Structure 1
Amino acid sequence: LVAIPPSLLPCWTIHTSQWSLENTIRRRPLLQLGDNSHRHLNPSTISVTTEREEEPDFADHNTRRSEPIRVDLPKPATRASTEAGGDDFMSSDQPRVVESRPSALTSNPVHEAEDEKDHGTVERPLVGDQVRDVIRLIQCRKCSRPLQEPVTLPCGRSLCKHCLPETHTRENISYPATPNRLQGFDCPYQECGRNHAVGDCGVDVILTKAVDNFKAEMEKARETITTAEVSTHVVIQRPSAGQTGTDMDDETTSRVVKGGPLVAVYTLADSGELDYNSNVTFAEVSSLGDEATAIDNRTFSKVKESVRTEMDCQVCYALFYDPLTTVCGHTFCRSCLHRVLDHSTYCPICRRGLSVSPLLYRESCPSNEHLKTIIQTFWADAVLTRGDALAAEALNRHREFDIPIFVCTLSFPMMPTFLHVFEPRYRLMIRRALEGDRTFGMVLPQRPRTANDTHFVEYGTLLRIVNAEYFADGRSLIETTGISRFRITRHGILDGYLVGKIERVDDISIAEEEDLEANETQQALERYESAATHQSEDSSTSRPAMTTPEDLSKMPTSELLSLGVSFVERMRQQSVPWLAQRMLTIYGECPNDPALFPWWFASILPAKEYEKYKLLETRSVRERLKICCGWILEWESSSWSLSDCRIF
């Protein structure tokens, strides 16, 4: 296998009309979600040479649910569970989950099909704390009323849209600086304390529907109460300042409200008389205790059934597991969104661009706390069953290797790579790739320093075959495009070529990118803005004033990009060979996108490959721009004597 340098590419690399197979080779579509056929390599033909596997993070699965609302119910018999949603995540060769756990709020055995459930018919009334916890599920933590147009913030907490703080212009942020990110507000929750962009705070679609369904059932119950002489004496205990629970010094008030305990507490919350942190106790006034209990039980059952209709993920069509809400307000299971982001950065429902990191780290992309609490409270047994199924799927997946890997050259995302394939083992690999999803990994070779070292680097780029030209002797010329980066965690040999278990490498989220820039430039931004106002109109052709690499960390991201673009323009005016028209035809003109510029610049700059390799390890656009600007300073400080330059 030989990587073809762009400077040596024949005419067919530029004039694509000369490709004899251009109109016959079809580009296969991206893998559909759940299609793992290309990953099923035969383990019996693979010899494992290095073990770097890390244990999967199932912290949410292994951690038992917090204490749910409990009712004294007959315990159902334990039988093999086929809880709805489990089959969506388990293939035919995966072990079945046989453990059955009765729900705290339902008398249904967990083996019943989802469509056959009544979603929580209880046989005994809820007690005070349980009733209070149910109503608290739909209350706003700020205004204490039932949520209206709930907005889920990037930190995972929700509140009414009208409870959002006043916005202000965000400072010290130049990337991406899109219109919907220029305004922001400080998170109203002290445990967060971050500054959220307005564009990251959309109305939560699922939570809105769930709360509306909840309120609709409660309103029906209140209408029923008007025909029955049922009322409840509610004692409200408001915690004193700094307290969250009941205390002897708590402020206590009481009300007689129509309806059973559940309807009465909802009525108080709906009228704004029940603080979010308040607790309640009950003393029944009417003599119709059995009727009040029956009404509450029917209402609670209907509430659960109504809310459940909105709790299915639109990717796996099962109950949400670890729900994560995107900036556009749509919610998916975290694992499902992982699979979506493997193929697209757009919401699968509304097609809006997603600014979250595709790795979905829980620190930067927290779960939707409100939805997670509702699901954990109402369907705790189903959550545990889903967790078991996901764990079994992940365990089965970790026994296999993901992808074939070339050990040849350095490739970058969104950039072309041209290959001349002539070795029999790589011919086989390319043929299998073309028969599959047309993807393979590319890593740079390295010289092992010890016996335990590998002959290739740890980070690489996933490539997709765009075109292929075959010769009569079996050789082929391959054109590929970079898709994404990866890190090899485990590898082996299949039919002579390398295969590996990989994990995707993606950038931090836009919000984290903005925080990084703001923190680094807070002290020096005014100085650079002042200098920018004195630049002449032809600054793009003048030598930059930067002299030390330390100054790069103080520059805004937009100025780092300007430094790189102006350097390219100066080099074009000097007619350097690596910016000849032939190279620009292959890689395109200099981009003005900060996310794309480092990949383009590294592809076209005649620097050492191991110096360029540093870009693949970074997780920030800003960090990559600083590396590229460091190369520029090295180039210009060499005084045209590149023999003394460490990177060229």
Structure 2
Amino acid sequence: MSLFTSNPKANEPSTTPAAAPPPDVPTGVARADSPLDERQGLTAERVRVLVRLIQCPVCSFPLREPVTLPCGRSLCKPCLPSTHLRTRISYPATADRLQGLQCPFPDCRAEHALGDCGLDVTLNDLVSAVRAEYEKGRNAALASKLVTHVSTKDEWEIAGIPSLKDADSRSRALPGGRLLATYLLADMGDLDYNAEVTYATPDTEDHADLDATVLAKVKEMTLAEVDCHVCYAVFYDAVTTPCGHTFCRVCLQRVLDHSSCCPVCRRRLTIQPMNNRAASPANELLRKITTAFCADLVELRGQAISKEGLKSDNHEFDLAIFVCTLSFPSMPTFLHVFEARYRLMIRQALEGDRTFGMAMYDDDSGFAELGTVLRIVNVEFFPDGRSLLETVGISRFRIIRHGMLDGYVVAKTERINDISIADEEQLEALEARGVVSGSGRAASPGAARFPTSTQEVEGLPTQTLMDFATDFVRRMRGQSVAWLTARILAIYGECPHDPALFPWWFANILPVRETEKYRLLGTTSVRERLKMCCGWILEWESSRW
């Protein structure tokens, strides 16, 4: 049940049929069934819930520099466990990812990369604002000489077992009403996160008035901090990125459909919040806060998202398909458009978001199931209607169903995404047989040895796979092979040193069968693609394709 509602008419009878609950309602989001006056309903239980919202589960103090871990839990930055050097990790092997820590929460205990444990910007701003309001309330209470006697009940007493602590040490007289006094007890470090409270002082009108004033300001400050930077509405199923910025899950996914960067700080993100919820859990504390202070707004936001989803589902086809060649993400594709149907398709793309799908021709079905979304970078029109297009790949897709429009294929597609960096590291740790040092290189000569068979490829560190592939490119360039000329490099660029980009570049350069290259489109990890590239190299070195 919601502690507070921000809608004063939430309890009035509705004249319209109740909407169906939105899909994937975040766990714990309650329905706001009645408005709650800030002067009413502040029972010991509700006061305790409010104060616990800003307490660190580890140290029990109000949060200081809050950090939200990849598992969705939050704690103080000083309460983070000590770090250790992670082993069997060679990609991406940046300094902040080579340092890891074990999650302090008993129901998780996973290893988190230090780079994924940044300051939670929203929680930090929210807690700072709330602290300031409690401090103002404390000053007002001292001036009015209002005092409340607060007693704590530890986990033993809650379970019905006599506590070992002295009763006097668990009772304090503190300034203010119930809410303010309980917060001050936590601020002193005398209120354990799991403890409950009781009050010996009667809740007089003066006490209630002060609590109502403090609560109203706390609520105002909270509501000012829980808006998404994308939709500017209250957070719905909030997800906090490794860089510490928070967005609605659906809003973040929409951003990542067009860019791989955080919309606030532009740091590159590898999470896919809609496609892999387990790897991108909701921010647990923000969920509790929005449920406590504005569950009615969260419900309305969920209904709006549900309606948007229904509208989207009503669009049977979402992508125009150019059936021609094989294209890859981040790589250029040049097209000479002369057929009337595709001239129309390109004209419509230019009037829209400048994107369309590219799928390879298939003898059986007419076109391949997997393809790449291309964005038009440049276009040159000829007087006879033909055009030359310069495009770049931005994402991959799988065709779910298709139809025809104006002579060309249109399709309903689903995006193909890579697993997260954390999952990528876990995959390498499971597969790599050689222990990897902190430098990202194999720690032993045996592990660093380049493979001579596909079986050896499977167990090598990701960075060793990359080194093997780039060494092959260097050797082939030294031999002046026909497929690695200056003209080719002018089109596709120099050999990338980023393992995430290399396989796409290599597939464009190396003269292997199109069916082999096509397999890359269905992969979901950098390591998987590098292993395929290394397999091609071994085949090339033993024979010619």
The TM-score normalised by the length of structure 1 is: 0.75
Give the counterpart of 1:385 among 300, 316, 329.
Answer: 300
Q: Distance in 1 between matches of 2:456 and 2:44?
A: 62
Moved more, 131-140 or 392-401: 392-401
Q: Distance in 1 between matches of 2:81 and 2:200?
A: 39
Where in structure 2 are the equivalents of 1:333-352 lying within 5 Å?
333-352=248-267
Q: Distance in 2 between matches of 1:472 and 1:299?
A: 72
CA deviation string 1:358-409 (max 9, x = no partner): 7562211111111111001111111111000001001101211322111221
Which amino acid in structure 1 is aligned with residue 12 of structure 2?
A: A
Where in structure 2 are the equivalents of 1:583-622 lying within 5 Å?
583-622=488-527
CA deviation string 1:55-106 (max 9, x = no partner): xxxxxxxxxxxx43379x997313479xxxxxxxxxxxxxxxxxxx973674
Q: Distance in 2 between matches of 1:430 and 1:469?
A: 12
Where in structure 2 are the equivalents of 1:295-306 lying within 5 Å?
295-306=210-221
Give the counterpart of 2:357 among 438, 441, 462.
Answer: 441
Equivalent residues of 2:153, 2:195 under 8 A apart: yes
CA deviation string 1:570-611 (max 9, x = no partner): 223333322233222221222221111100111111111121
Q: Which residue number in structure 1 is paired with residue 444 of structure 2?
A: 530
Aligned residues: 521
Distance apart, 1:420 and its partner CA: 2.4
Q: Which residue number in structure 2 is paired with residue 23 of structure 1?
A: none
Q: Distance in 1 between matches of 2:363 and 2:153?
A: 71
Q: Which residue number in structure 2 is paired with residue 516 of structure 1?
A: 427
CA deviation string 1:96-133 (max 9, x = no partner): xxxxx9736744xxxxxxxxxxxxx4342311111111
Equivalent residues of 2:60, 2:191 under 8 A apart: yes
Where in structure 2 are the equivalents of 1:328-477 lying within 5 Å?
328-357=243-272, 361-400=276-315, 401-448=317-364, 454-477=365-388
Q: Distance in 1 between matches of 2:527 and 2:431?
A: 10
Q: Which residue number in structure 2 is paired with residue 237 of structure 1?
A: 153
Equivalent residues of 2:87, 2:436 under 8 A apart: no
Query: What are the ranges of 5 or more consecutive residues in structure 1 without an aligned counterpart?
Result: 1-66, 82-100, 108-120, 449-453, 536-543, 643-647
CA deviation string 1:606-631 (max 9, x = no partner): 11112111111111111100011111
CA deviation string 1:532-591 (max 9, x = no partner): 69x8xxxxxxxx752321211211111101111111222233333222332222212222
Moved more, 273-282 or 339-348: 339-348
Which amino acid in structure 1 is aligned with residue 391 of structure 2?
A: T
Which amino acid in structure 1 is aligned with residue 347 of structure 2?
A: R
Q: Which residue number in structure 2 is paired with residue 220 of structure 1?
A: 136
Query: What are the ranges of 5 or more consecutive residues in structure 2 without an aligned counterpart?
Result: 17-29
Give the counterpart of 1:280 among 197, 205, 209.
Answer: 197
Give the counterpart of 2:113 among 189, 192, 197.
Answer: 197
Q: Distance in 2 between matches of 1:359 and 1:567?
A: 38
Which amino acid in structure 2 is aligned with residue 520 of structure 1?
A: E
Q: Which residue number in structure 2 is paired with residue 10 of structure 1?
A: none
Q: Which residue number in structure 2 is paired with residue 249 of structure 1?
A: 161
Q: Which residue number in structure 1 is paired with residue 19 of structure 2?
A: none
Q: Distance in 2 between matches of 1:368 and 1:360?
A: 17
Pairing 1:68–2:8 present: no
Q: Residues 424 and 624 of structure 1: is their aligned pair in 2 closer, same or farther, counting only changes over 3 Å?
A: same
Equivalent residues of 2:236, 2:248 under 8 A apart: yes
Which amino acid in structure 1 is aligned with residue 309 of structure 2?
A: A
Q: Distance in 2 between matches of 1:421 and 1:411?
A: 16
Q: Distance in 1 between matches of 2:509 and 2:86?
A: 35
Q: Residues 596 and 440 of structure 1: is their aligned pair in 2 closer, same or farther, counting only changes over 3 Å?
A: same
Q: Residues 102 and 469 of structure 1: is their aligned pair in 2 closer, same or farther, counting only changes over 3 Å?
A: closer
Moved more, 522-531 or 191-200: 522-531
Q: Which residue number in structure 2 is paired with residue 564 of structure 1?
A: 469
Where in structure 2 are the equivalents of 1:617-628 lying within 5 Å?
617-628=522-533
Q: Distance in 2 between matches of 1:555 and 1:375?
A: 46
Q: Distance in 2 between matches of 1:545 and 1:214?
A: 57
Q: Distance in 1 between matches of 2:490 and 2:10?
A: 71
Q: Percent identity?
A: 53
CA deviation string 1:24-45 (max 9, x = no partner): xxxxxxxxxxxxxxxxxxxxxx
Secondary structure of the 1:309 match is: helix
Higher relative contact order (CA 8 A, sep 6+): 1
Q: Cα RMSD between the aligned structures?
A: 2.6
Which amino acid in structure 2 is aligned with residue 138 of structure 1?
A: I
Q: Distance in 2 between matches of 1:126 and 1:466?
A: 60
Q: Residues 484 and 173 of structure 1: is their aligned pair in 2 closer, same or farther, counting only changes over 3 Å?
A: same
Equivalent residues of 1:468, 1:476 under 8 A apart: yes
Equivalent residues of 2:332, 2:393 under 8 A apart: yes
Q: Which residue number in structure 2 is paired with residue 179 of structure 1?
A: 95
Equivalent residues of 1:125, 1:297 under 8 A apart: no
Q: Distance in 2 between matches of 1:437 and 1:528?
A: 45
Secondary structure of the 2:229 match is: coil
Distance apart, 1:211 and its partner CA: 1.1
Equivalent residues of 2:2, 2:31 under 8 A apart: no
Which amino acid in structure 2 is aligned with residue 579 of structure 1?
A: L
The TM-score normalised by the length of structure 2 is: 0.89
